[in-house]
Amino acid sequence: MARVLVVDDEPQIVRALRINLKARGYDVDAAADGASALRAAAARHPDVIVLDLGLPDMEGVEVIKGLRGWTSVPIIVLSARHASDDKVEALDVGADDYVTKPFGMDELLARLRAAVRRAAPVEEAPVVKTPDFMVDLAAKRVTREGTDVRLTPTEWHVLELLVRRPGKLISQKQLLHDVWGPSYRNETNYLRVYLAQLRRKLEPDPAHPRYLITEPGMGYRFEPGG
């Protein structure tokens, strides 16, 4: 049974999450500020953390930094802040996902399930299968309906970064850094071009992608279930 640590200073949010998560079989701990969250994480070892950015004693970003000093536990930011800068900063310091308040419980639960799956051990060089194509990370090979899909080295690099972290929202800044290098920070048009090329080659309907998802202003995620 997965354990969730909810970090939020709004009692009604904590109560709603506690009720809904427990009804679906999760163990739930709660903390109302950053210091309590860090202590609870160390003591209870949650499988996933749901974290508000606006805490009374410190910024949620500082909590993420504190956690990332010793644990890779998935962190889902749950915040009323809509500015893309806040979202990108949280992702860049180590958050795995970002859900904006007000939120749908079904969406949050889906993100939680994905986070728990990502945290489970996986084989070192997996073959990732979707209903429409297969990615062999060891062989650096993509097939669709049994036929090899030819990718450029850059297309492969972008796809590999996303596929190795299924369901995880990867920021534009991180993708640019990892694919093109540290001097590339603002060339988001590169990402749009290469994601469009990958969608044309892999998606059944490139105009309505099922697998290579854009989170506007933030980044991209790979959803293997489509």
* 7 lies in the same domain as 111: yes
Of 119, 151, 174, the residue at which a domain comes to its end is: 119
| Tokens 């970090």, located at residue | 7
Q: How many helices (H) and strands (E) in the chain? A: 8, 12
Domain harbouring 68, CATH code:
3.40.50.2300
**Are the CB atoms for 172 and 218 separated by under 8 Å?**
yes
Residues 96, 202 share a domain: no
78-82: average pLDDT: 80
Which of 101, 128, 109 shows the shortest CA–CA distance to 212?
A: 128
What pLDDT digit, counting tens, does each position of 88-104 carry? 889 888 899 999 888 88
Is 121 a residue whose pLDDT tops 60? no
* The residue type at 116: V
Q: Is the pLDDT of residue 54 over 50?
A: yes
H helix runs in the chain, sequence order: 11-23, 34-44, 60-68, 84-92, 105-119, 153-163, 172-180, 188-202
What's the mean pLDDT when you consider all of the chain? Answer: 89
123 pLDDT above the threshold of 60: no
Q: Are residues 140 and 113 in the same domain?
A: no
pLDDT reported for residue 103:
86
**Structural domain boundaries, residue 148:** 127-222
Weakest-pLDDT range from 143-152, 166-175, 194-203: 166-175
Nearest to 116 by CA among 76, 79, 60, 77: 76
Looking at the structure, do residues 115 and 156 belong to the same domain, yes or no? no
Cβ-proximal residues to 93 (8 Å cutoff; 6+ apart), any chain:
61, 64, 65, 68
| 138 and 107 both lie in a single domain | no
Mean pLDDT of 128-153: 92
